[in-house]
Amino acid sequence: MKFSIIIPAHNEADVIGLTLDSLVQQSLKPYQVIVVNDNSSDHTSRIVNQFTKKNSWISIIENKSSNLHLPGSVSYTHLTLPTIYSV
């Protein structure tokens, strides 16, 4: 089964490492994980990039368009699966 996970993140340095580590430890790994870093001013980006270096199925999108926290505002064009379901 192939599935993707999109994680919106705005100043999540305290928890993003735990979140990604949990996904890395799963026996059934997602096809891809995309972290949308929404203009964070903390170390969210640095932490995610550490995971992307070791796990090719994890990627990051840097959204620096505004200071407004809009985690769902990025398009799904970065996903490689044919069908996207958004809840």
Q: What is the mean pLDDT of residues 55-73?
A: 77
Give me the pLDDT at residue 1, please.
83
Q: What is the pTM (predicted TM-score) of this model?
A: 0.76
Per residue in 4-48, pLDDT (tens digit) is: 999 999 999 999 999 999 999 999 999 999 999 999 999 999 999
CA-to-CA distance for 75 and 39, rounded, in angstroms?
16
CA-to-CA distance for 85 and 5, rounded, in angstroms?
11
With CA atoms as reference, report the closest residue to 30 among 55, 6, 11, 5.
Answer: 5
What are the tokens at 17?
């490492």
More confident residue, 85 or 6: 6
